[in-house]
Amino acid sequence: MQRKLSARQMQMIALGGTIGVGLFMGSTSTIKWTGPSVLIAYGIAGIFLYLIMRALGEMLYVDPDTGSFSKFATEYMHPVFGYLTAWSNIFQFIVVGMSEMIAIGGYMEFWWPGLPAWIPGLIAITFLCLANLISVKMFGELEFWFALIKVVTIVLMIIAGLGLIIFGIGNHMHPIGISNMWTHGGFFTGGVKGFIFALSIVLASYQGIELIGVTAGEAENPRHTLVKAIQSTVARILIFYIGAIFVIVSIYPWDKLNAIGSPFVETFAKIGITAAASIINFVVVTAALSGSNSGIYSASRMSFTLANRGELPKGFLKLNRHGVPYWSVISISLGIFLGVVLNFLIPIFWPKASNIFVLVYSSSVLPGMIPWFVILISQINFRKAHADIMDEHPFKMPFSPISNYVTIFFLLLTLVFMFVNPETRIPIIVGVVFLVFMTILYFVKFHGNEEAAIAKSKQGEEAKNETN
């Protein structure tokens, strides 16, 4: 593979991986549980995600390799965790990619009513597949611009919102102020239980931030690039999420959000932008393309990692002349498009199946958290294994291992509340079933190969060090 991803692209890739359609179209779902105090939930989740990223950064600084956290799980935990991590990542990004492609079909109906939803999905997945096949630099450049569109939109929405709040621009020059944050049932409207329910949903919205660990093997000057990207990304995500949510809960009564549709559309419309709906529709189309673009990249690199350990056919290791694992990219793209086809066909033969896809998509939440647990546990063992270099290490995880244990407890607590919450219980159960099935599959097919997997991983690391 080729190190073609620049620092500029890496930072936008990490940003784009977590700022998705959910913020633009679904931010009301996180607010309904706890009201304006959801701001604190985003802040708390962001702090713990920063610790996870720092744990990953400590290991990547020493070993910046493709499929990093799956590789770390194999070396510093057990090969079964490397296997589970890789497949969890693949499962997560394929179902996310499916949902994004299906969403694009819905968004296109805004401009072309009656257009069959599978046609935009086919065009979009073909375009993204070809872009990923051309080179990793093309993936990085696409993701940079997709992410930039999202970031610029959020910044403009925050500026427009502050104009409404402070100066009354768009409200006949009558400042709205921030009293909506406490005049509709208080700041903590759902109590402790509601707040923790919201925290669970908020945490899921940050999934994808670890994508930067998958890109490590193809980053230019990886140490400098990764440090810079990790240090800046979490702070920017917090600013964008908290800034946007602050504007929303200040301008609109939190308990009336369901009636206004997209707060982004409404905010731009208030200040006189008549094409607000078209603009936001364009933005969510690019957000969906970004989600699928990241999904194809991440899942294909995890497929490559599995094949490198002998857990997928060797064909997934084949690279084209641009250093791209082309069978992996094509297979993941076909997997995503299969979801588009099934979404179109299943309701025809099974009319009551309308909610099945939503259930499958939601089930990616638990597998999507597996890399976080793996990163935190691997880093503890990584530090023991590399005790000789830790004194000189310039990018160590703060307060480790105490910060690791606290973060693990926080993640487990949110999972418990997701199980308690009737709206998130079934996705958690489906996620557990997936992980149990893949664990059994591993021990049936690959049990006894653990030492070979670890040896192969370490041989690759030694060969890379010799080359460097």
What's the rounded Cα separation, in Å, for the pair 457 and 69? 12
For residue 121, what are its two tokens? 């999905």
> How many domains does the chain contain in total?
1
Structural domain that includes position 191: 7-462
Compute the mean pLDDT over every residue in the chain, rounded to the nearest whole number: 83
Tokens at 465, concatenated: 């060090």
Q: What's the CA gap between 109 and 277, in Å, rounded?
A: 13
In a domain, 1, yes or no: no
Assess if residue 14 is contained within a domain: yes
Instruction: Give the pLDDT of residue 463.
Output: 46
- Residue 175, preceding peptide bond in cis (omega within 30° of 0): no
For residue 464, the model assigns a pLDDT of 45
CATH of the domain at 218: 1.20.1740.10
Residue 407 lies in a domain: yes
Is residue 241 situated within a structural domain? yes
- How large is the average pLDDT for residues 377-401? 92
pLDDT tens digit sequence for 272-319: 887 888 888 888 888 888 888 888 988 998 999 899 888 999 999 999
pTM: 0.85
- Residue 468 in any domain: the answer is no
The stretch 223-242 carries a mean pLDDT of 78
Residues 107-132 pLDDT 10s:
888 899 888 878 898 999 999 999 99
Nearest CA among 213, 381, 460, 72 for reference residue 390: 381
pLDDT of residue 379: 95
pLDDT digits (tens, 9 = 90+) for 156-185: 888 988 998 999 888 888 899 999 888 888
Residue 467: inside a domain:
no
Q: Choose among 261, 159, 189, 175: nearest CA to 36.
A: 189
Of the given ranges (199-203, 404-408, 437-441, 462-466), which has the lowest mean pLDDT? Answer: 462-466
For position 17, what pLDDT does the model report?
Answer: 63
Give the C-alpha distances (Å, rounded to integers) separating 140 from 53, 295, 454: 20, 13, 31
The reply to whether 83 falls in a domain is yes
Query: Is residue 87 pLDDT above 90, yes or no?
Result: yes
Q: Is the dihedral of CA 339, 344, 346, 347 positive or negative?
A: positive
Is residue 2, in this structure, part of any structural domain at all? no
pLDDT band (50, 70, 90) for residue 3: low
Flag whether pLDDT at 467 surpasses 50: no
Measured between alpha carbons, how far is residue 288 from residues 300, 385, 399 in Å? 18, 41, 37
